[in-house]
Every structure is written in structure tokens, then in C-alpha cells.
């Protein structure tokens, strides 16, 4: 087995692979992440595995219990209301602060991520859409210059990626509902970007709240699909 230093390419590879599997629910909530098995699977020492698990724990995707090791964080439909309440407060707060505190470099990054989302939406690829959407909102959090809010908000964004991936699973291609949702998301992003650029804090906060509601409605629509409900419920059962 190859020995690789901390923060090595091996650590990054393990992190990205596990993160992708967790977000896609290929690794079920509650699944055990045994260091020895993971290191063997990726042909690395335990050090890069521990590094990857630490990063995933910081993002809220993995939990670690003394004596029980690391496990994929739970995902429960009963927590959705609390999730959206928290996301609404955090997103409105960081977006308002971003409008007040942003610098030109923030505007440049936001515009780049906004355009990347629009390009990703054209591909109708849930993984690409999730990742670039995260990058756009994470850039807003950075522009807010509030480390406490940014940390809490970005953890909520990561959890939203898991929920978002499940709600995308009802679509096998670009149907009208998904096309409409993506168009609305692009419109929201452009309006939020403009409000932040113009330092209009009130508009930025209002738009951020409306954007959370757009996401909530998409998830609610997906949950009405029996196939998606069964998939989420099956994943949730592994959490116990």
C-alpha cells in the first residue's frame, strides 16, 4: 500500500470520491466508513483517509462517534422543515451582508460562478448543477465577510446538495418542469448578483428569501413523486 503525506493527491482523491458518493446517496445515510476498508479500496494509507474524513465531517456529511468510528450523516424527511427555516435565515443574512461588504473581486467571482451555472444548466447534469450552484452561493458567503455565518451557511448548502440531488432524480432528461425550474434559478441568480453589485441590501435579502422558496417548492414537488419518496425513505432508514 502506498504511503502518502497529509494533504496529498491521495487525500484529495479519497475526499472527492466519498463526497460524490454521499451526495448521490450511493453511500447511504448511516453507512459505516471504516478507515481500514476505505484505505484498502483506494490503495492509500490511513493518513489521507483520515484527512478526507475530517474534511467531510467539517462539511456535515460525516459524523464521528467515539468508539463507533465514522458514518455518513443522517438524512431525515422529518428534518426538512427545520432545514428550510434555517436556510432561509442564513441565506437572507449572508446575502444582505454581501451587498453591504462586497468588493470588486467578489463581484468578479460571483459573475464567473453565475455564468458557470448557466452553462451547467444547459448540460442538465445534476452533479454539475449542484456543484456550480454551491460555488455561487459560497462566493456570496465569502463576500459577506462573516466567518460564523459563512460556516453555518455553507454547511446548510452542502446538506442542500444532498436534498437537491434526490429531487433531481425524478427527471431522466429535460422535461418542462425541470426546464422551468432552471430558468427560474438563472433569473434569481442574475437578480441576486445585480442587487449585490449595486449594494442594494434590502433587495438582496428579499431575493435570497425568494430563492429559498423556489428550492423548497422544487423539493416539495419531488417528494410528491412516489419514486422519489421511496428513494428518500429508503435512504433515511439507513440513518437509524
Q: pLDDT averaged over the chain?
A: 86
**Domain with 16 in it:** 9-72
| Banded pLDDT at 226 (limits 50, 70, 90) | very low
At 176 the pLDDT is 74
Pick the last residue of a domain from 28, 49, 72: 72
What is the mean pLDDT of the segment spanning 188-211?
99
26 belongs to a structural domain: yes
* H/E segment holding residue 72: strand 69-72
Whether residues 28 and 128 fall in one domain: no
Beta strands across the sheet bearing 32-33: 32-33, 69-72, 62-65
- The pLDDT, as a whole number, for residue 2 is 41
Average pLDDT over residues 101-108: 98
pLDDT value at residue 24: 83
Question: Looking at residue 169, what is its pLDDT?
Answer: 59
pLDDT tens, position by position, 125-163: 778 888 999 999 999 999 999 999 999 999 999 989 888
- Residue pair 110/136 in contact by the 8 Å Cβ criterion: yes
pLDDT at 101 over 90: yes
Calculated CA dihedral for residues 25, 71, 229, 157, nearest 10 degrees:
-70
Which pLDDT value is given to residue 234? 57
pLDDT at 142: 98
Shared domain for 90 and 192, answered yes or no, is yes
Domain boundary among 21, 44, 72: 72
Residue 149 and residue 96 in contact, taking contact as beta carbons nearer than 8 Å: no
For residues 47 and 138, membership in a common domain is answered with no
Query: If pLDDT is split at 50, 70 and 90, which confidence band does 28 have?
Result: confident
Cα–Cα distance for residue pair 10/3, rounded to 1 Å? 9
Amino acid at each position: 500500500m502506498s504511503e502518502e503525506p497529509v494533504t496529498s493527491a491521495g487525500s484529495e482523491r479519497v475526499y472527492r470520491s466519498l463526497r460524490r458518493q454521499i451526495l448521490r446517496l450511493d453511500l447511504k445515510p448511516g453507512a459505516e466508513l471504516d478507515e481500514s476498508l476505505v484505505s484498502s479500496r483506494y490503495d492509500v494509507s490511513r493518513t489521507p483517509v483520515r484527512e478526507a474524513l475530517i474534511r467531510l465531517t467539517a462539511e456535515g456529511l460525516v459524523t464521528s462517534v467515539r468508539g463507533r468510528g465514522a458514518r455518513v450523516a443522517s438524512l431525515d424527511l422529518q428534518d426538512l422543515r427545520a432545514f428550510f427555516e434555517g436556510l432561509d435565515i442564513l441565506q437572507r443574512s449572508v446575502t444582505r451582508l454581501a451587498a453591504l461588504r462586497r468588493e470588486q473581486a467578489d463581484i468578479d467571482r460571483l459573475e464567473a460562478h453565475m455564468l458557470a451555472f448557466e452553462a451547467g444548466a444547459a448540460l442538465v447534469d445534476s452533479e454539475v448543477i449542484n456543484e456550480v450552484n454551491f460555488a455561487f452561493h459560497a462566493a456570496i458567503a465569502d463576500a459577506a465577510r462573516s466567518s460564523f455565518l459563512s460556516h453555518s451557511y455553507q454547511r446548510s448548502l452542502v446538506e442542500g446538495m444532498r436534498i437537491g440531488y434526490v429531487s433531481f432524480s425524478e427527471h431522466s432528461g429535460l422535461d418542462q418542469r425541470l426546464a422551468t425550474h432552471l430558468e427560474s434559478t438563472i433569473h434569481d441568480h442574475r437578480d441576486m448578483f445585480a442587487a449585490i453589485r449595486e449594494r442594494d441590501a434590502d433587495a438582496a435579502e428579499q431575493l435570497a428569501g425568494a430563492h429559498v422558496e423556489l428550492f423548497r417548492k422544487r423539493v416539495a414537488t419531488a417528494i410528491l413523486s412516489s419514486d422519489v419518496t421511496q428513494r428518500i425513505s429508503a435512504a433515511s432508514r439507513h440513518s437509524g
